[in-house]
């Protein structure tokens, strides 16, 4: 029997040891401000293939590459006038840019595409690890492919178990939702590929041009330019249904073995043990931070079905709804 992954505190000695693991081609689950990622040397094709095996991830789903600074970014991607503008406004932070790749990036990282998804993370432990490695790190979410993303080190250990050896504990993730992804290969025609905490209007103001958003329908069957675009994703094992609004009458008509997730705490909830909420006062940032952890908790509970109320579709609410709608997509 393999030993479960070891959780390491972020001490200077541990960071040096984990940097060495990465330089030698190993895997380390790392904290980011969005969700935990499973990191490998992005310049090492063999190491990156280990990510796909550990996660049971399909080879046509590209990885995000994390960099320490703009110099490291220029080593792996072709920059343009959009990059310094967006970097000044949002980096380090939860924004991923799709750019034309350089030959140094192996095909396995980009699923053979000519583009690469890159971001500069804000989590202080990951930033220190990037500097100690001196390498760009490919790091998708540190969970079995398609399951709910991890926002704590324990989530990673529960999901990947003995498939990996090392987890760096950076505490609960600040945002709890994956980064916004925008394709800026043509800086005059930016395209939002995945919503996140940073929304399209903010990006458009910085670039001085509108950001077009691709609908889920238009991405179906198209080339996957970045992670998180597969129709069914972020999904619990329990079936999940989404609702524009959840009412007391809906809950009363359901069985006691169904769990209901309201966006904000409802006045009618009382002491019902099958009613939960993402934010007591309806704050989208708090709701986003709690979403995946609550889905995981309920998925391990006694419920036969989960119900979730969609968020107001503004700012982070758009990202919450994207995750819920993908999580609720039926298998097959």
> Does a structural domain hold residue 151?
yes
> Does a structural domain hold residue 190?
no
Residues 66 and 39: beta-carbon distance below 8 Å: yes
Looking at the structure, do residues 59 and 169 belong to the same domain, yes or no? yes
pLDDT bucket at 234, cuts 50 / 70 / 90: confident
DSSP conformational letter for 271: T
Looking at the structure, do residues 166 and 248 belong to the same domain, yes or no? no
pLDDT at 187 over 70: yes
Sign of CA dihedral 46, 49, 55, 61: positive
Beta carbons within 8 Å of 116's beta carbon, 6+ residues apart: 62, 65, 76, 77, 98, 99, 100, 101, 105, 109, 110
What pTM, to 2 d.p., does this model score?
0.94
116-158 residue pLDDT tens: 999 999 999 999 999 999 999 999 999 999 999 999 999 999 9
Looking at the structure, do residues 271 and 169 belong to the same domain, yes or no? no
Looking at the structure, do residues 283 and 134 belong to the same domain, yes or no? no
CATH of the domain at 88: 3.90.870.10
CATH of the domain at 313: 3.40.50.11030
Q: How many residues are there in the chain?
A: 332
Give the total number of structural domains in the chain. Answer: 2
At 313 the pLDDT is 85
Looking at the structure, do residues 131 and 257 belong to the same domain, yes or no? no
Final residue in a domain of this structure, among 124, 157, 178: 178
At 257 the pLDDT is 95
> Does a structural domain hold residue 23?
yes
147-186 residue pLDDT tens: 999 999 999 999 998 899 999 999 999 999 999 999 999 9
At 329 the pLDDT is 86
pLDDT bucket at 330, cuts 50 / 70 / 90: confident
> Does a structural domain hold residue 303?
yes
pLDDT at 266 over 60: yes
Looking at the structure, do residues 90 and 171 belong to the same domain, yes or no? yes
Final residue in a domain of this structure, among 140, 159, 178: 178
At 230 the pLDDT is 67
> Does a structural domain hold residue 234?
no
Looking at the structure, do residues 15 and 130 belong to the same domain, yes or no? yes
pLDDT at 220 over 90: no
> For residues 201 and 314, what is the distance between their CA atoms, to the nearest angstrom?
10
pLDDT at 228 over 70: no
Better pLDDT: 234 or 133? 133
% residues pLDDT > 90 (the chain): 86
> Does a structural domain hold residue 230?
no
Looking at the structure, do residues 305 and 164 belong to the same domain, yes or no? no
> Does a structural domain hold residue 156?
yes
Domain of residue 315 covers: 240-328
Looking at the structure, do residues 166 and 264 belong to the same domain, yes or no? no
Looking at the structure, do residues 40 and 155 belong to the same domain, yes or no? yes
Q: Tell me what the pLDDT averaged over the chain comes to.
A: 93
% residues pLDDT > 70 (the chain): 94
Range with lowest mean pLDDT among 12-26, 85-99, 299-313, 316-330: 316-330
> Does a structural domain hold residue 309?
yes
Final residue in a domain of this structure, among 178, 204, 222: 178
Q: What angle do CA 257, 152, 43 make, to 5 degrees?
A: 125
Cβ burial 39-57 (10 Å sphere, 16+ → b, else e):
bbbbbbeebbebbbebbeb
At 216 the pLDDT is 55
What is the pairing mode between strands 137-138 and 37-41? antiparallel
18-51 residue pLDDT tens: 999 999 999 999 999 999 999 999 999 999 999 9
pLDDT at 61 over 60: yes
Looking at the structure, do residues 173 and 288 belong to the same domain, yes or no? no
Mean pLDDT of 207-231: 71
At 1 the pLDDT is 58
Looking at the structure, do residues 144 and 249 belong to the same domain, yes or no? no
Mean pLDDT of 206-234: 72
């Amino acid at each position: 029997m393999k030993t479960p992954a070891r959780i390491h505190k972020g001490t200077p000695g541990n960071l040096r040891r984990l940097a060495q693991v990465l330089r030698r081609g190993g895997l380390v689950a790392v904290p980011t401000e969005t969700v935990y990622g499973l990191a490998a040397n992005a310049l090492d094709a063999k190491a990156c293939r280990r990510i796909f095996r550990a996660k049971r991830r399909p080879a046509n789903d590209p990885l995000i590459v994390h960099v320490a600074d703009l110099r490291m970014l220029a080593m792996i991607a072709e920059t343009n006038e959009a990059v310094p503008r967006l970097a000044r406004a949002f980096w380090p932070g939860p924004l991923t840019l799709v750019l034309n790749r350089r030959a140094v990036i192996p095909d396995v990282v980009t699923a053979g595409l000519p583009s690469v998804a890159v971001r500069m993370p804000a989590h202080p432990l990951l930033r220190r690890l990037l500097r100690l490695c001196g390498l760009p790190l490919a790091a998708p979410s540190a969970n079995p492919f398609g399951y709910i993303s991890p926002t704590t080190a324990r989530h990673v250990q529960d999901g990947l178990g003995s498939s990996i050896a090392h987890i760096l504990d950076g505490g609960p993730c600040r945002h709890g939702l994956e980064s916004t992804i925008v394709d800026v290969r043509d800086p005059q025609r930016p395209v939002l590929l995945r919503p996140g905490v940073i929304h399209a209007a903010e990006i458009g103001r910085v670039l001085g041009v509108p950001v077009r958003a691709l609908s889920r329908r238009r991405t179906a069957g198209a080339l996957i330019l970045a992670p998180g675009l597969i129709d069914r994703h972020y999904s619990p094992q329990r079936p999940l249904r989404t609702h524009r609004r959840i009412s007391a009458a809906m809950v009363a008509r359901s069985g006691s073995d169904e769990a209901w997730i309201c966006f904000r705490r409802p006045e009618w909830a009382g002491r019902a043990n099958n009613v939960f909420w993402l934010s007591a006062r309806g704050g989208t940032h708090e709701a986003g931070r709690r979403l995946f952890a609550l889905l995981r908790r309920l998925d391990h509970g006694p419920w036969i079905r989960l119900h979730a109320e969609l968020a107001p579709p503004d700012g982070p609410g758009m990202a919450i709804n994207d995750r819920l709608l993908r999580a609720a997509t039926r298998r097959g």
